[in-house]
């Protein structure tokens, strides 16, 4: 055994076999030997015992260990959120019906923004007898458009939702003058798009249609929509008897509420205002945290939307996302909602029709064509 101070300055033996029970295996005694390459710091007193030290707490390895569970948890949460969003998209977009809505012939020039045609069809083709009774639709063999709206966005204006009264008198290509909702019955989406384009001079970039059953299912999926009525509404044809005041409407009552016009003193003009208000309330409800963050609501809603909507063949996921955002903005505080300026009623071979105020209508559609704000005097 080496004893400090017994021999001249030397480095510890290298390569020497040490018995397992030799205390030198546990503690080695060094004397400072300048230049010996032992790794002992200069100035270390003779006889100092050098013991390897563990990394200090909080060092790089310690911090890494503490952070790893948080990173794992964060990545797990992000993966779950991404999977949730993908599930909603698959349910919502995977079951959409597609239709060729592009008309033939000459069309207006593209506008600076994007304009969608939003249509509510009164077709009963997909309804069972039980559903017809529940929704008070009757057995009418009809394929008209009770709701016709233009949703438009542009760089220079605000998102705008424009209602076109279903009884508006317009020229339908190949059929002469008639109520605008007849275009859908005569030639489906392509003829309706062509009729709207020729009447407004606005090019339609996208098409979205919803039917009776689809509307009902969407409202049911969000557990109803709240509306506030200034006066009671009772309409046997629409199957509703609603008291005045605020109340939550389920699917059947909501459908009757947006359909009724015979009990409205303003007829179809009053109905289109209610339709816009309800669409805004429905969009608000569907995008609320109470629905989107609740899988028991969001998943059925996504499935209902996918089943409810029919869109044009060219509409992709990005286009539909932009449509949804535009609808939210148009019906919110930063948007504008109005009806084509009213010019009076008339009686024709097509029955009682709505006439447009030609100057006001032209000013409205010109603002859409040029991407400029709607004239203030046209806004309600």
What does the pLDDT look like over 258-289, one tens digit per residue? Answer: 988 877 888 888 889 999 999 999 999 998 99
Cβ burial 213-233 (10 Å sphere, 16+ → b, else e)? bbbbbbbbbbbbbebeeeeeb
**For residue 253, what pLDDT is reported?**
93
H or E, element range at 246: strand 245-249
Closest Cα partner for 150 from 186, 92, 108? 108
3-state secondary structure of 98: strand
Find residue 168's DSSP bridge partners.
354
Region class of 164: left (phi > 0), else alpha (psi between -120 and 50), else beta: beta
- Chain centroid to Cα 124, Å, comes to 27
Per-residue pLDDT at 6: 43
Answer whether 312's CB lies under 8 Å from 206's CB: yes
pLDDT of residue 13: 47
Classify domain 97-378 at the CATH superfamily level: LCP protein (3.40.630.190)
Name every residue whose Cβ is closer than 8 Å to that of residue 368 and which is 6 or more positions away in sequence.
111, 113, 115, 150, 152, 154, 157, 160, 162, 200, 202, 374
The pTM of the full predicted model, rounded to 2 decimals, is 0.76
Burial class (CB in 10 A: 0-12, 13-18, 19+), 7: exposed
pLDDT recorded at residue 104: 87
Burial per residue of 166-205, b for 16 or more beta-carbon CB atoms within 10 angstroms, e otherwise:
bbbbbebbeeeebbbbbbbbebbbbbbbbbbbbbbebbbb
Reduced to 3 states (helix: H, G, I; strand: E, B; else coil), residue 1 is coil
Task: Report the pLDDT value the prediction gives residue 261, as an integer from 0 to 100.
Answer: 83
Q: What tens-digit pLDDT sequence spans the chain (380 residues)? A: 444 444 444 444 444 454 545 544 444 444 444 544 555 566 656 665 555 555 555 555 555 455 577 777 777 777 877 776 666 666 667 778 899 999 988 999 998 989 999 999 866 555 566 655 556 555 555 567 889 999 999 887 789 999 999 999 999 999 999 999 999 999 999 999 999 999 999 999 999 999 878 899 999 999 999 999 999 999 888 889 999 999 999 999 999 999 888 778 888 888 899 999 999 999 999 989 999 888 889 889 888 988 889 999 999 888 988 999 999 999 988 899 999 999 999 999 999 999 999 999 999 999 999 999 899 999 98
Asked whether 74 and 81 are in contact (CB, 8 A), the reply is: no
Q: What is the pLDDT of residue 16?
A: 47
- The number of residues in the chain equals 380
> How many Å apart are CA 19 and CA 73, to the nearest integer?
50
**Predicted pLDDT of residue 365:** 97
The per-residue pLDDT for 89 is 67
H or E segment to which residue 225 belongs: strand 225-229
How many Å is the maximal CA-CA distance in the chain?
A: 129
Q: What are the boundaries of each domain within the chain?
A: 97-378
Q: How far is CA 183 from CA 106, 239, 343, 350, in A?
A: 17, 27, 21, 13
pLDDT of residue 2: 43
The whole-angstrom distance between residue 308's C-alpha and the CA centroid of its chain comes to 15
**Residue 37: predicted pLDDT:** 52
């Amino acid at each position: 055994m080496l004893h400090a101070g017994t021999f001249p300055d030397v480095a510890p033996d290298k390569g020497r076999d040490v018995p397992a029970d030799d205390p030198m295996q546990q503690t080695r005694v060094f004397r400072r030997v300048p230049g010996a390459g032992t790794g002992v710091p200069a100035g270390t007193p003779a006889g100092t015992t050098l013991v390897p030290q563990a990394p200090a707490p909080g060092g790089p390895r310690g911090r890494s260990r503490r952070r790893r569970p948080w990173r794992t948890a964060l990545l797990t949460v992000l993966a779950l959120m991404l999977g949730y969003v993908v599930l909603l998209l698959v349910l919502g977009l995977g079951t959409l019906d597609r239709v060729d809505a592009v008309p033939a012939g000459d069309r207006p020039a593209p506008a600076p923004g994007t304009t969608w045609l939003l249509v509510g069809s009164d077709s009963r083709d997909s309804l069972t007898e039980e559903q017809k009774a529940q929704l008070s639709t009757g057995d009418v063999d009809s394929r008209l458009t009770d709701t016709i709206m233009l949703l438009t966005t542009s760089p220079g204006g605000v998102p705008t939702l424009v209602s076109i009264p279903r009884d508006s008198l317009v020229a339908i290509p190949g059929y002469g003058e008639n109520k605008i909702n007849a275009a859908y019955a005569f030639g489906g989406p392509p003829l309706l798009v062509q009729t709207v384009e020729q009447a407004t001079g606005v090019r339609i970039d996208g098409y979205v249609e919803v039917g009776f059953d689809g509307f009902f299912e969407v409202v049911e999926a969000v557990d109803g929509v709240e509306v506030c009525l200034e006066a009671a509404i009772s309409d046997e044809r629409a199957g509703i008897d609603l008291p005045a005041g605020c109340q939550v409407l389920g699917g059947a009552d909501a459908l009757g509420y947006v359909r009724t016009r015979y009990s409205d003193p303003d007829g179809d003009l009053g109905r289109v205002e209610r339709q816009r208000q309800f669409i805004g309330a429905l969009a608000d409800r569907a995008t609320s945290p109470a629905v989107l963050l609740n899988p028991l609501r969001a998943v059925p809603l996504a499935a209902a939307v996918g089943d409810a909507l029919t869109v044009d063949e060219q509409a992709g996921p990005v286009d539909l996302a932009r449509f949804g955002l535009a609808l939210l903005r148009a019906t919110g505080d930063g948007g504008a909602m109005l009806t084509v300026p009213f010019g009076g009623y008339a009686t024709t071979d097509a029955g009682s029709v709505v006439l447009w105020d030609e100057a006001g209508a032209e000013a409205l559609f010109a603002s859409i064509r040029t991407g400029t704000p709607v004239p203030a005097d046209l806004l309600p």
